[in-house]
Amino acid sequence: MTQKELGIASGLNESTVRNYELGNRSPDEDTIFEIANALEISPYVLSTPNPVSAASSLQFLFAIEKTLELTPTVIDDKVYLEVSSDLDVDDKTVAPLNNLKRMLSHCATMYEKFTNNEIDEDTYLL
């Protein structure tokens, strides 16, 4: 679908659609809904996630699952993110997974320090 076709289907100008695509402007929630309807997709696909809400947190998890093929797994009533055994590991996959592993390891270290009162909440949340 072209920008012009999307504009017609969603009631927007072609230039408005172009500006959204380029990141020059951001659509409001109603506009996201109209664009999503025109594309026949969920508006959550087009929304910018906000990790404060449960729905947006799930959106982040779905994005992680899709891009890094990590799936939630429950073991002994604890939820873990597991790397798919079907994962075709190549350079495009390894770098993001290594970065995520490094960041999660740092997060776990900081959480442990916070729960052991070695750092305060402000330092933990940085």
For 36-73, give the DSSP string: HHHHTS-HHHHSPP-TTSHHHHHHHHHHHHHHH-EEEE
Residue 38 forms part of a structural domain: yes
pLDDT: which is higher, 98 or 34: 34
Residue 56 forms part of a structural domain: no
Per-residue pLDDT reduced to its tens digit, 8-17: 999 999 999 9
User: Which residue segment(s) compose the domain that 85 sits in?
Assistant: 71-124
Residue 116 forms part of a structural domain: yes
pLDDT of 38 higher than 70: yes
Domains of the chain: total: 2
pLDDT of residue 45: 77
Residue 52 forms part of a structural domain: no
Per-residue pLDDT reduced to its tens digit, 70-109: 778 899 999 888 876 665 666 666 667 777 778 878 888 9
pLDDT (average), residues 39-64: 78
